[in-house]
Amino acid sequence: MDKYLVAVGTKRGPKLDAVREALDQIAGLLAPGVLFEVSGFDVDSGVSHTPLSSAESMRGAKQRADALMGLPSTTTATFRYFIGMEGGLEVLASDDRHEEAARNLHRRVFLESWAYVTDGTRGHFGRSGAIELPEKLAIEVLDDGVGLAAAIDLLAGMTGIRDRQGAWGVLSRDLITRRDAFRVALIAAFAPFYNAALFRRVSPAG
């Protein structure tokens, strides 16, 4: 059986599990009869610990994948795909003008999970859905400068949450975990590869 090696820009369990689960789901479309082997590497995202916009999260995911391709042991001749993932926040203006909303400056803050997949020639992004942060958590992260990982640990009274269910799990009572969110983002990011005929760019007529 042929084997494709996949490099991932993290060694964190939930993210690596998300990659394996996504590949299990799409393998038959992406490369029938091929075995995918996933390897994690510690690389720097080049963005803040808790990205505060979709653009920053996307940049972090792509820079992780780019960093993978720069490692001496991860050439495109060896690895078929390079994957970067980044979780972060997106802050949107709210039309809630009630007095009790004044402190949060009329904003709503959402947690997102982003993935970027490249074969070394072309690359594509995918995103999970989003879940809104409670106001207390948003204030701690945005106004008080506490990292999301530390803030969610404090909120839940636990430690090491990002290596288990993640903030997603705490906020959704484990109906959606960090692994689940990244799996969705990865399936979306891989779509132009396993659904290539639809995504193929059409040349202009004439």
pLDDT tens for each residue of 132-141: 999 999 999 9
Angle at 79 between CA 78 and CA 84, to 5 degrees: 150
Q: What predicted TM-score, i.e. pTM, was given to this entire model?
A: 0.91
Is domain 3-197 classified as CATH 3.90.1150.10? no
Considering only the C-alpha atoms of the chain, give the largest distance between any 2 of them, rounded to a whole number of Å.
64
Q: What is the pLDDT of residues 6-36, one digit of tens each?
A: 999 999 999 999 999 999 999 999 999 999 9
- pLDDT by 10s per residue, the chain, length 206: 799 999 999 999 999 999 999 999 999 999 999 999 999 999 999 999 999 999 999 999 999 999 999 999 888 889 999 999 999 999 999 876 554 545 545 899 999 999 999 999 999 999 999 999 999 999 999 999 999 999 999 988 888 898 889 999 999 999 999 999 999 999 999 999 999 999 986 555 54
* Residues shown for the chain: 206
Neighbours of 159 (CB within 10 A): 11
Q: How far apart are CA 112 and CA 9, in angstroms?
A: 18
| DSSP run (H or E) holding 10 | none
| 7 close to 68: Cβ distance less than 8 angstroms | yes
The single-letter code of the amino acid at 44 is D
Token duo for residue 117? 């997949």
Instruction: Quote the pLDDT of residue 80.
Output: 97
Task: For the sheet with 107-118, list strands across it.
Answer: 35-40, 3-8, 81-93, 107-118, 123-132
| 54 close to 114: Cβ distance less than 8 angstroms | yes
Token duo for residue 143? 């106004």
The SS3 call for residue 176 is coil
| DSSP run (H or E) holding 102 | none
